[in-house]
Structure 1
Amino acid sequence: MRKEELHRLLTVVAEDVRPAHPATAGWDRARRVRRARRAAGAAGLAVALLTGGTALALRAVDPLPPATTATPDRSPATTATPRRSAVPTPVPVQTVPADLAYPGGPLGRLGDPVAATLSARPVGRALALYQPRDPETAADGRIRVLGDDGLVRDLDVVTPAPTRDAEGNEAPPLKNGSLSPDGRRAAFAQTDEVIVVDLTTAAVRRHPLRGYLEHVLWSGDRLLVGDNDTTYEVEPGTGAARKLPVSPWDVVAPGPAARPAARPDALFELDSTPANVTRIRSTGGVTQRSSSPVDFRALPPGNQVEEFYGRGWQRGDLVARAGWLAIGTTSGLEGVALLNAGTGVVTHLLNLGQGRWKSCCEVLGWDPDGTVLLRYDPGGLLRWRPETGEVTGVVKNLYGEVSLAAG
């Protein structure tokens, strides 16, 4: 046998032989493991120190926030720098996903066929009013009532006429402020009167009021009714009315905090253009007004609202209103803005894009969980949660006017 073959044979035989000094071999292995672990720990510590030092350096040069911002559940009572959180801050300019999810819910039945009349089956509480419109002929149908039992009823106790202005321009009688926040009453502006329907009893009241009335909006237990340039505060049971020094177009629907108040003495307007917040307080017959520009500094440069439209809806300190947006170098985009009523700071924009119906995306109110409800023409409703950026669908193919029991 040659030397090379003998060496290979002895090597194979020795592979299964345990070390002569197993304890020594074990300690050698342990030392190697400890050295590897110490090396890994040192590397990890170096990375942590480097990352922390970089973060401190970056924080040191961060500019102070230009204005106080707010989230739907927190009031910006202080301008102190907010605490850093492990939860990522939502992007201030958000978009609708390409594929909308429709998780369902009670409002999804708003497009169901009529199953009863209001006179035969009054509601315990209405979730929404809906006046369908034929997308081909633009003909308006009869007003429907969706009850909290999921049943759609025909509003058979009254047939409001279209509203019209002094020039004769007509519009559907159902407005997005027609349904009271508690879902128990509906109001319809008419020329020289306002109609109030108790949806729980089907009783109808008509209150005379001068003017080509077009606007209706609930403020707690009271009703705001307006024509082109005059707003009345109406007690819906008796019809007693007084004039309010607010714009019927720009007055914001008061949030839940205003509902227990005896009178809506503190209101504010969100002017269409230029964008201004006007705070109005009436005390002892004296009205005080103060205005300040809407502040876009909390948004990335080049992002702002060019003009507001539709009704603004308040929840706590926050107001949501639709408008035409400028995003970067693109203008004329449909969208919704969220701003703080106290500071005028716009904290979030929802970009809904171009190529939709004119004034497609009116805000319809807030859900109690801080979700903004809005139109999404042609033919749908959306929910937008600004604090997370989540956008989901409510219902499809819903052409016409909608009023929700959402304040």
Structure 2
Amino acid sequence: MTDQRLRELFDERVADVTDVDLVDAAWQRAHAVRRRRAVVAVVAAVVAIVGTTAVVVGTNDGEPPPVTTPSTDGLKAVRSGTYSHARVWWGPTTEQEAELPALTGTALPPEIDLSPDASMPTGSKAIAIFQLWRETPGEVVVVGADGTSYSLDVSRLAPVPVDGQEDPPLSASSLASDGRRAVFAQEGSVEVYDFVTGRWTSIPTEHAETSGVHWSEDGSLIVVPRPGTGPIADLYSPTGDRRGHTLDEDDYFSLRAADDTGHGPVVRNVQGDGARGLGMGGPVSAPDGSEYRRVEAFGAGGRDWPEDLLAFPPESGGGRWKQCCPAVGWLDADTVLLQSRHEDARILAWRPRTGEVLRVSDIRGWQPGEESYVASFAAIDGSVGTGPGGSEEPAGAADAEVQGVPVWWSPDVAGEAALPWLEQSVLSREIDVEAAVEVAPVLEPGSVPFDRAVAAFPYPDPQRPEWVVLIGPDLALAKLDVGRLEEQGDAGASYDLATRNMLSSNGRRLVFGQDGFLWVVTLATGEWRRIDTGDDVTGYPAWVENRYLLLPPAGSDTGPLYTLDGRSPAEGGIAPDRAFHVGPSSASQSGPVKPGPGLREAHAWDGRPSLPVPTEGSGRYLSDPPYLEVVGQEDLALAFVERVGQERWIYGPVAVGWLDEETVVYESETEAGHLLVAWRIGTREFWKVAEIDGSPGTFLGGPSFADLHR
């Protein structure tokens, strides 16, 4: 690597900006404030606290200052206007970081030493890993679970060629979330080190370029992007087994200017809110009304784009590196950690809701100006989900086992009707679609009740719907006139016009297949957009990552992928979701694949003609139960009890979505009623979520749901 390339990657400063006096002065006198939880207008004033007196430093939009009370937890960033609908907070300068209050009690030590004396012992895990860099890859330093720094022998690794240059084998996404393993890029392979066993595993890859390798969100699989194929990536187990492919893209950043960028990993808290290092093209307003371009920042909150931005004052003669502030992870639902990379590098904590900034770790033991570093972190929250209203008791033994997969039995029809209600849900307990058609306002351009839906129900049926009833946030209602849809397919192969995949997972768009094209409806505007598809089969299109549309395969194992502007980002398409399942190969998938937090997925299957599962408490076998399978770090299944005269489905069960990492929702349709039921996976805990009337479904057509865990 050349010295120039080294500077471009690690040492580049934000240049040509010197006027930061007001931001600096506001930080010098700012003390922490905490907002009272009150019903107030959205604020855009910058407030500094001097003693106990609130002083308005500046305002860009004329809105009133927030109601505040003193706090001693941390200094508060200076609030100044908005950028692309996100609140902007101005953070401290590099010198002011040293004065920040310390945040203790995290897994990270107050000081991280990058010049350790001891080697990393086996039998432990890592909470962080660093690689120093001069002209060639340097030492790898591991921060153990005890907070001590250790060295790791990486003499087997070589620099990674990328675009005619050489990059370090370690990246910001090298360490698995559980801290057990680290993955390193190499030309034509990835190298995995297991900190518990002390062993290396070499995994040959299909393509030579592996610089983008990283772990899946739950740390169970290795993701290797395919060069030149857009978002498609190959999946490998830590032992080298191929596990298929995935769409690997998480563009969590603010899109306002063409040169807005995101860098480093996207980290998410238990609520699904994201955080990421950003570069804002600008203009970004400072507290004095000045506008700056090319501002380094950090975004947090929201699932698809940041709700709050922490902007860093441009500094002359030094300051933070370009792409200064990659995400470290969420400490809890309200506190996110980030790197602040400069000559006195640190890890900071930020609370977007209050603006408080605190100091977590100082990074020492390296030589600024001669060395740079890249760092990767394990999950630092240490949280364990317990499910909605569920207990923390062990799951206990399964009711049966099939092909090594544990199987639990569902309640029967009468048992489901007697289940307790889920205490909190984004859906109302009673959903009467026919009544909603009568009272809901029409969604059309110029009259948009909400920009995101939780659920969409076709009426009167999915084959030829006249309306799609939408449930929005806070249980608001709207209806979409779909009378323009024409019957799709010929008499021998007609399709449902309203499918279970019609609503995107973020709830912002609907898709409908037509012969030769797709209709995409954006709820925020009421706009119908046509995407021409030529001769591609358009029956049952499926959303992928909220921004792509996957069409069914025609005579092959892959289907074409379209962007919202009608382009295909990958040659040859990709395979639709077809997960491993415990049943026979003749079993048919019922309804959509529903991805959950991490890499867990839920799939429903019609078990016929044969899936021998011991019946509950009888010692006998039931040859054909339908079942719901959960695929992830471990596979498990929920088989459905059927009794004579109480058959649940004509078409089979349907997976609806996830409430959290441990709780999946399925649709149970019987002659007696239509229920949504939540199951805490691997337990015998069930809840009723909703009773639905007036929107019958088929195995591919019917109600469609956004992410229920948003």
Q: TM-score range by the shorter chain?
A: 0.5 to 0.7
* Cα pair 1:214 1:228 within 8 Å, conserved: no
2:337 maps to amino acid: L
Q: Could you list the per-position Cα deviations for residues 82-121 of structure 1 after superposition, in whole angstroms to 9, with x for gaps in the alignment?
A: xx99879995322223522262753334225323223xx2
Say if 2:312 is the partner of 1:346: no
CA distance in structure 1 between the aligned counterparts of 2:326 and 2:123, rounded to whole angstroms: 26
Q: Could you list the per-position Cα deviations for residues 360-393 of structure 1 after superposition, in whole angstroms to 9, with x for gaps in the alignment?
A: 2222322246432222121412222212212223
CA-CA distance at 1:131 after TM superposition: 1.0
Residue 329 of structure 2 aligns with which residue?
365
Residue 116 of structure 1 aligns with which residue?
118
2:122 maps to amino acid: P
CA-CA distance at 1:351 after TM superposition: 0.7
CA spacing shift, 1:123–1:335, aligned 2, 3 Å:
farther
CA-CA distance at 1:244 after TM superposition: 2.1
CA spacing shift, 1:235–1:87, aligned 2, 3 Å:
farther
Residue 262 of structure 2 aligns with which residue?
308
* Cα pair 2:252 2:305 within 8 Å, conserved: no
Specify which of 351, 357, 361 is matched with residue 385 of structure 1. Answer: 351
Say if 2:310 is the partner of 1:337: no
CA spacing shift, 1:162–1:227, aligned 2, 3 Å:
farther
* Cα pair 2:267 2:275 within 8 Å, conserved: yes
Specify which of 237, 240, 243 is matched with residue 239 of structure 2. Answer: 237
Residue 282 of structure 1 aligns with which residue?
none
Residue 126 of structure 1 aligns with which residue?
126
SS at match of 2:205: strand
1:203 maps to amino acid: R
Residue 188 of structure 1 aligns with which residue?
184
CA spacing shift, 1:185–1:396, aligned 2, 3 Å:
closer
CA distance in structure 2 between the aligned counterparts of 1:309 and 1:97, rounded to whole angstroms: 20
* TM-score, with length taken from structure 2: 0.35
CA-CA distance at 1:317 after TM superposition: 2.1
Residue 199 of structure 2 aligns with which residue?
203
* Cα pair 2:252 2:266 within 8 Å, conserved: no
CA distance in structure 2 between the aligned counterparts of 1:93 and 1:320, rounded to whole angstroms: 14
SS at match of 2:110: helix
Say if 2:173 is the partner of 1:174: no
Higher normalized contact order (CA 8 Å, seq sep 6+, divided by chain length): 1
Say if 2:267 is the partner of 1:270: no
Say if 2:92 is the partner of 1:97: yes
CA spacing shift, 1:323–1:150, aligned 2, 3 Å:
closer
CA-CA distance at 1:204 after TM superposition: 0.8
SS at match of 2:376: strand
SS at match of 2:109: helix
Q: Percent identity?
A: 26
Q: Higher mean Cα deviation, 186-195 or 392-401? A: 392-401
* Cα pair 2:111 2:363 within 8 Å, conserved: no
CA distance in structure 1 between the aligned counterparts of 2:214 and 2:313, rounded to whole angstroms: 29
CA distance in structure 1 between the aligned counterparts of 2:155 and 2:245, rounded to whole angstroms: 27
Residue 502 of structure 2 aligns with which residue?
none
CA distance in structure 2 between the aligned counterparts of 1:226 and 1:192, rounded to whole angstroms: 12
SS at match of 1:205: strand
SS at match of 1:334: strand
CA spacing shift, 1:140–1:194, aligned 2, 3 Å:
closer
* Cα pair 2:321 2:342 within 8 Å, conserved: yes
Q: Higher mean Cα deviation, 92-101 or 141-150? A: 92-101
CA-CA distance at 1:144 after TM superposition: 1.3
CA distance in structure 2 between the aligned counterparts of 1:150 and 1:237, rounded to whole angstroms: 28
CA spacing shift, 1:104–1:337, aligned 2, 3 Å:
closer
1:125 maps to amino acid: K
SS at match of 1:110: strand
CA distance in structure 1 between the aligned counterparts of 2:154 and 2:373, rounded to whole angstroms: 20
Say if 2:173 is the partner of 1:149: no
Specify which of 378, 400, 425 is matched with residue 405 of structure 1. Answer: 378
* Residues matched between the structures, number: 274
Task: State the superposition RMSD in angstroms.
Answer: 3.4
Specify which of 268, 275, 278 is matched with residue 320 of structure 1. Answer: 275
CA spacing shift, 1:115–1:321, aligned 2, 3 Å:
same
CA-CA distance at 1:402 after TM superposition: 0.7
CA distance in structure 2 between the aligned counterparts of 1:373 and 1:86, rounded to whole angstroms: 24
Structure 1 residues 6-45: aligned runs within 5 Å: none
Structure number having the greater helix percentage: 1
CA spacing shift, 1:238–1:308, aligned 2, 3 Å:
closer
CA-CA distance at 1:190 after TM superposition: 1.3
Residue 225 of structure 2 aligns with which residue?
226
CA distance in structure 2 between the aligned counterparts of 1:155 and 1:305, rounded to whole angstroms: 38
* Cα pair 1:334 1:360 within 8 Å, conserved: yes
CA-CA distance at 1:406 after TM superposition: 2.4
2:204 maps to amino acid: P
CA-CA distance at 1:233 after TM superposition: 1.4
CA spacing shift, 1:87–1:233, aligned 2, 3 Å:
farther
Structure whose alpha-carbon radius of gyration is higher: 1
SS at match of 2:206: strand
Residue 582 of structure 2 aligns with which residue?
none
CA distance in structure 1 between the aligned counterparts of 2:103 and 2:122, rounded to whole angstroms: 25
CA spacing shift, 1:149–1:396, aligned 2, 3 Å:
closer
CA-CA distance at 1:133 after TM superposition: 3.0
CA-CA distance at 1:321 after TM superposition: 1.4
CA distance in structure 1 between the aligned counterparts of 2:180 and 2:123, rounded to whole angstroms: 8
CA-CA distance at 1:314 after TM superposition: 1.9
Residue 626 of structure 2 aligns with which residue?
none
CA-CA distance at 1:333 after TM superposition: 0.7
CA spacing shift, 1:157–1:376, aligned 2, 3 Å:
closer
